[in-house]
Amino acid sequence: MKKQNITLGIIIGNRDFFPDKLVSEARIEVLKMLGEQGIRAIILDETATKLGGVETYTDARKCADLFKKHKDDIAGVLVVLPNFGDERGIADTLHLADLKVPVLIQGYPDELNKLNVANRRDSWCGKISVCNNLYQYGIKYSITTKHVVHPTDPSFLADLKQFLGVCRVVKGMKNVRIGAIGARPTAFNTVRYSEKILQKNGISVVTCDLSEILGYANKLDKSDQRVKDHLEKIHNYASTGKTPSESLIQMAKLDVVLNDFMTENQLDANAIQCWTSLQQNFGCNVCTSSSMFSEGMIPSACEVDVTGTLSMYAMQLASGSPSALVDWNNNYADDDEKCVLFHCGNWAKSFLPDIEISNAPILGTTVGVENTYGALDGRTPASPLTFGRISTDDTRGIMKAYVGDGQLTDDELKTFGNRAVAKIPNLQGLMKHICKNGFEHHVVMNASHTSEALKEAFENYMGWEVYHHEG
């Protein structure tokens, strides 16, 4: 398991008629395991309560006060049950702390030859009681794959890794700010969304007219030091191929202004008008800038697809790696479980080992190829795949999403732009779900298998309607 830079609150449950040594041993084991994973633990001192465990209401108050002091840091809570534990103490702690973060319940397994009074745990039963109380309190929680499991078991380490992804998504999606730059292209009704539903879920949209961005960019001179700096950044980012120097300067000017807008408004992601105003009114594609943003962990989508870039941001949080906005674009010959993912294209270069700045031939047929430089060309090789999409269902007033896992393959694909071949179990069933439920033609991909974490975060903790495609 990769080391994680994250902080968890730790509650060690206890019940007075079980052996004290079980609590002491669990504390040592759990803190050692968390330390090895680079996870910071906020936990009661051993002298604050009996063995640093939580049992009584007084213990709960002390633990809750400790958690409140670290409220801004704690991304989730791990409840450890070395024995049956006191379900009221754990529930009271979480209720009083009111952190509103994900909670993972772990219980230690008993050993068949240690079911005597001096060694038995009864965590199997205690975990059910803890979950029952949290359910009564209305506190959301997650459970491990195995009902009881030792904290060093590979199964638990996998559960913990997934839980940390859940924590990052839930914390990161609170108060996220997205820049919507320009108007939605008229031909793209598919990317319409509700700002009000997003705001209700803590997601703010900051708008800006594309003419303002282009106006500021046009006022910049190629001799401006900032333009030179961003031009150098573009050259360092990707091969420029046959892209004319004039187009590269245009791209640099645009990149300067977009970065200013993002910084001034403290934005986490953006969605930019592209097709076809940018080409007609400024003379280049924004793809290179979008790619650089996404590679720098600031997701950037085209066609003002705000919920598309929100999906990119969520997947980035879950995996710790960049995401890309793609089209569900083509069938792959007669293989019912494969399809072509495509954009013209703005994918982060993490997806494009052969990245080159080029033009957009399809768009060029209407606006002139010379006005489409800045699009990227490159093929994504085989890798794990998580795919998904967040959407506002405006007629029902809800947030909804679908997520799933598959594989990107090295199958032959002769075309241009940003391209990949995806293999997804029961792909035809997935397409039926997307079409029947009114999802967009854009989907987001990430080189990971994190759909379980996304589902848990969206559905359990954020209250969204989620379809998890499992083939």
- Mean residue pLDDT of the chain comes to 97
1 has pLDDT over 70: no
Q: Which fold has domain 7-173?
A: Rossmann fold (3.40.50)
Q: Tell me which of 10-24, 236-250, 346-360, 366-380 is least confident.
A: 10-24
- Supply the pLDDT for residue 118: 80
The one-character DSSP state at 8 is: E
Q: What does the DSSP assignment read for 403-439?
A: EEEEEEE------SSEEEEEE-TTHHHHHHHHHHTT-
Under the banding of pLDDT at 50, 70 and 90, the label for residue 117 is confident
Q: What token pair was written down for 8?
A: 């968890």
Residue-wise pLDDT tens digits, 165-194: 999 999 999 999 999 999 999 999 999 999
Given a cut of 80, whether residue 36 has pLDDT beyond it is: yes
Helices within 151-302 (DSSP H only): 154-172, 195-200, 210-219, 225-237, 245-264, 277-281, 287-295
Give the pLDDT of residue 471: 80
Residues 232 and 99: their CA atoms lie apart, in Å, by: 45
d(CA 197, CA 391): 10
Stretch 459-464: mean pLDDT, rounded?
98
pLDDT at 18: 87
**Mean pLDDT, residues 291-317:** 98
Please name the amino acid found at residue 412.
Answer: E
Question: Could you report the per-residue pLDDT of 433-450, keeping only the tens digit for each?
Answer: 999 999 999 999 999 999
Give the pLDDT of residue 16.
83
For the stretch 373-393, pLDDT in tens is 999 999 999 999 999 999 999
Domain extents for the chain? Answer: 7-173, 177-469
- Looking at residue 17, its pLDDT comes to 80
Confidence of residue 407 (pLDDT cuts 50, 70, 90): very high
Q: Is the dihedral of CA 349, 172, 407, 416 positive or negative?
A: negative
| Angle at CA of residue 411, ends 406 and 416, nearest 5° | 105
Q: What is the mean pLDDT of residues 66-75?
A: 98
Band (pLDDT 50/70/90 cuts) for residue 20 is confident
Could you tell me the sign of the dihedral formed by the alpha carbons of 387, 390, 395, 397, in that order? positive
Question: d(Cα 460, Cα 456) in Å, to the nearest integer?
Answer: 5
Amino acid 350: pLDDT: 98
Please check the confidence at residue 114 and state whether its pLDDT lies above 90. no
Give me the pLDDT at residue 314, please: 98
Percentage of the chain beyond pLDDT 70 is 99
In whole angstroms, give the CA distance from residue 11 to residue 79: 5
pTM: 0.96
Token couple for 130: 């803890």
| 177-469 has the same fold as 7-173 | no
Instruction: Please state, in angstroms and as integers, the Cα–Cα distance from residue 290 to each residue in 74, 179, 270, 455, following that order.
Output: 32, 12, 9, 27
The fold adopted by the segment(s) 177-469 is L-fucose Isomerase; Chain A, domain 2 (3.40.275)
Span of 4-8, 15-19, 206-210, 233-237 with lowest mean pLDDT: 15-19
Q: Is 60:102 a contact under the CB 8 Å cutoff?
A: no
Residue 3, pLDDT > 70, answer no
Q: Does 214 have pLDDT greater than 80?
A: yes
- What is the model's pLDDT at position 2? 63
Terminal CA-to-CA distance of the chain, rounded, Å?
26
